[in-house]
């Protein structure tokens, strides 16, 4: 699969390590920056990466900032994006099974790297369960704005 990734300066080192992990799992990376630890504004990187997922250039997205909060706020502004800020493997599993999330967000300053690897593996392997969850996800997209 193709995974669109992006981070700000706070998530840069973490993104590089998780990018290597994603490649080891046999997936391709589309890296939308940032490309150093110089201070930047996270919306400038989250938005194009989320658009790549929404337009199906990428299958999934992974976005990282200090807490993951800003990245998830920006990604969820993009039509068709369901971004989930995850902190536990159970959240990553539910994000796919119940919410059909297509973007996962991490906080580099709040979540251990090994925990994020475990969540990523689950996120990329689990399927959406559909059925009653489909009705709920459709209701999200019927709300104004997304």
Please identify, using beta-carbon distances, which residue of 67 and 102 lies nearer to ligand RB5: 67
Residues at the contact surface with ligand RB5, assessed by CB under 6 A: 8, 10, 42, 65-67, 69-70
- Annotated catalytic sites, by residue? 65, 98
Please identify, using beta-carbon distances, which residue of 63 and 124 lies nearer to ligand RB5: 63
Does residue 84 contact residue 126 with C-beta atoms inside 8 Å?
no
Please identify, using beta-carbon distances, which residue of 61 and 70 lies nearer to ligand RB5: 70
- Classified as helix, coil or strand, 38 is coil
Quote the least distance from Cβ 47 to ligand RB5, whole Å. 14
- Non-local (6+) Cβ contacts of 59 within 8 A are 1, 2, 3, 53, 102
Quote the least distance from Cβ 38 to ligand RB5, whole Å. 12
Tell me how far apart the alpha carbons of residues 105 and 116 are, in angstroms, rounded to a whole number: 10
């Amino acid at each position: 699969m193709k995974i669109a990734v992006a981070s700000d300066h706070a998530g840069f080192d973490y993104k590089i390590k998780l990018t290597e992990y994603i490649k080891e799992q046999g997936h391709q990376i589309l890296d939308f920056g940032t490309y150093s630890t110089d201070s930047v504004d996270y919306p400038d990187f989250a938005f194009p990466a989320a658009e790549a997922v929404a337009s199906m250039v990428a299958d999934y997205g992974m976005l990282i900032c200090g807490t993951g909060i800003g990245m998830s706020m920006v990604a969820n502004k993009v039509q068709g994006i369901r971004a989930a800020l995850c902190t536990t493997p159970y959240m990553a599993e539910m994000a796919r099974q119940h919410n059909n999330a297509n973007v996962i967000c991490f906080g580099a300053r709040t979540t251990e790297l090994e925990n994020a690897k475990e969540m990523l593996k689950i996120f990329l392997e689990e399927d959406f369960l559909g059925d009653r969850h489909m009705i709920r996800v459709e209701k999200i997209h019927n709300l104004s704005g997304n």
